[in-house]
Amino acid sequence: METSKVQTYMAQEQAQRAMLESLLNRLNDLNAIGAALSSERDINRLLETILNAAKKITNADAGTLYLVDAEKRVLTFEILHNDSLNIRMGGTSGNPIPFYPIALYHEDEPNLAMVVSYSVLRDATVNIPDAYTAEGFDFSGTKNFDAKTGYRSRSFLSVPMRNHEHEIIGVLQLINALDEKSGEVKQFSKDDQQLLESLASQAAIALSNRRLIQQLEKLFESLINLINTAIDDKSPYTGGHCARVPALTMMLAEAANRSKLGALKDFNLTDKDRYELKIAGLLHDCGKITTPVHVVDKSTKMQTICDRINQIDTRFEVLKRDAEIEVLRGVRTQAEYEAFVRQLDDDRNFLRQSNIGSEKMLDADIARVQQIAQYQWRDVQGKQANFLNAEELENLTIRAGTLTAAERAVINHHINVTIKMLEALPWPNHLKHVPEYAGGHHERMDGKGYPKGLTREQMPIQARVMGIADIFEALTAKDRPYKEGKTLTESLAILGKFKQNGHIDPDLFDVFIREKVYLDYARQFLAPEQIDEVDESKIPGYSA
């Protein structure tokens, strides 16, 4: 008899130890789940993590996570899992949930017939041993589901999700607790209920925090876009630049992330890296907010408030008038006059063409402008003067583009302002490289760039990516004041020469071509006439 009592006692003690060990393991799981919830950035994955964790610690066969839509006063289905039926809906599954939201109110009457709406409205956990014998709730939808699928929904556990402000933001509903040994369906225990209530609280806080972070990120990006809109709207010639460069930056970065060749074999982008680079791309030209509009908008070499080439046209007419007077006075013959007028018309057309600034001027062209500048004319004060003054001569002999060296320095100063502005901000740790990435897109691989003259080895890959994106966008842009948007073939030929002369990163350039990044970008942002057939074998510096 004593032996029997001892054996019974030992069996009870062993069972208690097993129960405590199981509970301890579940508590450890709960702690680990809490850490996982706090680190997850993606809302859909977070919701799935919550439901999977809830099922794991209670050994439930199925479950659904609902979120409260306070404005519409409904509960929306977000995630639905059923292991026995192998059903995965919502979240990252790609399978939409075909069920209508559950109304929290019918007109102004609270909907207490549904278990989940009852949990939300009464802020209470509901633990039902068997839905088919339970009273007070409407399980008609559950029974219809069971009839169609052959499933048997029995035990239910619904727990409201309260955040740190004690607001109910959702509800977890689990179905069919399974016995760990037999696999039979059983009622959810008190331990299950307490663990799920603890998890629901952690999950609600994690979800609220993630939503808050997303709202702050959205606000932050909206402020950035506000700045970029102001920059682009300053000039009709730069509209869209601040949006296109980040888009192309991310395209090339993703292509480099896929590439496992050469210097890029170890390059790997995490979600954090992607977001950091995205923000850097959006802010890469924020310093242009201080750049004078008249410099940005300078569409011809002689433009200030207006295009002063018309003033020079007037001077040509003055020279013609004076020559005609000389004919009347007998100083010049009619033939000499006609030849001189033809020369003046030719010179005027030449200066007008030189004023456009879209092509690179040759030494002979610059010499001709300097020769024309020596013509003498009588100015508005009646004094003899050179046909072009020093400032006009400087502008008309700009070798490429429309900006003088001083104006180019004003434009280039925007990157110094960008760096200064960005380095003054208190960046969180996951965005600490934004100033470095954004501030490096005008550097060159050979150290001849600006503002710091960094070499390739001194630059992160992200900054090198942005450099290529900025150049290619500028080459293909249709809205520049001094040129038409180039075709793909023209742009890639120039970009290839930039690789050869040490301007851009050679490995990233090869990825840009090999992964057809240029074509993906073109299909989104270029005009059809710019998207010509590219012969990659003829691109300078590229070999497949």
Element (H, E) at 60: strand 60-69
| Level-2 CATH architecture, domain 235-295+406-538 | Orthogonal Bundle (1.10)
Helix, strand or coil, per DSSP, at residue 127: strand
Digitized pLDDT (tens) for each residue of the chain, 544 residues in all: 566 666 665 666 665 665 555 555 555 555 555 555 666 677 888 888 888 888 998 999 999 999 999 888 999 999 999 999 999 999 889 899 999 999 999 988 999 999 999 999 999 999 999 999 999 999 999 999 999 999 999 999 999 999 888 899 999 999 999 998 899 999 999 989 998 898 888 888 888 888 888 898 899 999 988 888 888 777 666 667 888 999 999 999 999 999 888 788 889 999 899 999 999 999 998 888 888 887 877 878 888 878 899 999 999 999 999 999 999 998 899 999 999 999 999 999 999 999 987 667 899 999 999 999 999 998 878 889 999 999 999 999 999 888 888 988 888 888 999 999 999 999 999 999 999 999 999 999 999 999 999 999 999 999 999 999 999 999 998 766 556 789 999 999 999 999 999 999 999 999 999 999 999 999 999 999 999 999 999 999 997 7
pLDDT at residue number 478: 79
Nearest-angstrom CA–CA distance, 127 and 141:
18
Give 473-522 as a DSSP string: HHHH-S--TT-PPPPHHHHHHHHHHHHHTTSS-HHHHHHHHHTTHHHHHH
| Type of residue found at 440 | G
Angle, CA of 251, 419 and 438, to the nearest 5°: 5
End-to-end CA gap in the chain: 88
What is the residue-wise DSSP string for 382-439?
A: S-EEESS-HHHHHHHT-SSSS--HHHHHHHHHHHHHHHHHHHTS---GGGTTHHHHHT
Q: Largest Cα–Cα distance in the chain?
A: 151
Q: Which helix (H) or strand (E) holds 82?
A: strand 74-82
Instruction: Mention the CATH class of domain 16-212.
Output: alpha beta
d(CA 214, CA 43): 9
Q: What is the pLDDT of residue 208?
A: 85
- DSSP SS3 for 79: strand
Q: What is the dihedral of CA 532, 533, 538, 542, to 10 degrees?
A: 90
Q: Which amino acid is present at 325?
A: I
Please report the beta strands in 139-270, taking only residues with DSSP state E, as ranges in sequence order: 156-162, 168-178, 185-186
Taking the CB of residue 92, how many other CB atoms lie within 10 A of it? 12
- How far apart are the C-alpha atoms of 451 and 413, rounded to whole Å? 8
Q: What confidence tens digit (pLDDT) does each residue in 90-102 have?
A: 988 989 999 999 9
Domain with CATH 1.10.3210.10 in the chain: 235-295+406-538
Q: How many residues does the chain have?
A: 544
| Type of residue found at 43 | I
pLDDT, position 34: 57
Model pLDDT, residue 366 = 93
| Phi-psi sector, 107: left (phi>0), alpha (psi -120 to 50), beta | left
Residues of the chain with CATH 3.30.450.40: 16-212
Burial class (CB in 10 A: 0-12, 13-18, 19+), 323: middle
Beta strand extents in 83-121 (DSSP E only): 87-90, 102-103, 105-106, 109-110
Q: How far apart are CA 506 and CA 500, in angstroms?
A: 8
Contact 46, 151 (CB under 8 A): no
List 186's β-bridge partners, or say none.
Answer: 177
Tens digits of residue pLDDT in 250-305: 999 999 999 888 788 889 999 899 999 999 999 998 888 888 887 877 878 888 87
